[in-house]
Amino acid sequence: MKKIYLAGFDVFAPDARQRGAKMKMMCAEKGFAGLYPFDNEADNAQDIFAGNCGLIDQADIVIANLNPFRGAEPDSGTCFEVGYAHAKGKQIYGYVSDGRAMREKIGEKDAEGFAVENFGLPLNLMLCGAARIVAGNFAAALAVCASEQA
């Protein structure tokens, strides 16, 4: 049974444990074992870091919530996990609820005058290069993953 690491800022939600349990159940329904960051049961920063890297090492696939978090960009920890998984040769799926190109969402420049890349991608090119981006929610990304793994 292939294992999927479930990356994302969902761990900061008030119902984080329930979200994780639901995503793991959805994985099981598709024939996968879900690995959620809370599975490592660590409680300090260094142990959480090591535990999450260990879970990614165990996984065959990563599905990452790449929706904006605390601003216009995805959660920085999730971005690290995508990069780490990519370096480890894992297959990665990322999901965003708004699949429009960054320029459509933000414009040619951001609020501080910095240029917004113009590649027609919904996220920074480094994330889009590492992950198969699915417009939709976790269920949509899991469905794409399952269809491609069949």
What percentage of the chain has pLDDT greater than the value 90?
97
Residues ≥6 apart with Cβ < 8 Å to 2: 31, 32, 33, 60, 61, 149
Q: The domain containing residue 13 runs over which residues?
A: 3-149
* Predicted structure pTM score: 0.96
Structural domains in the chain (count): 1
Q: Output the tens digit of pLDDT for each of the chain's 150 residues.
A: 999 999 999 999 999 999 999 999 999 999 999 999 999 889 999 999 999 999 999 999 999 999 999 998 999 999 999 999 999 999 999 999 999 999 999 999 999 999 999 999 999 999 999 999 999 999 999 999 999 998
Under 8 Å CB-to-CB from 148, ≥6 apart: which residues? 132
Q: What is the CATH number of the domain that holds 35?
A: 3.40.50.450
- Give the model confidence (pLDDT) of 48-65 as tens digits: 999 999 999 999 999 999
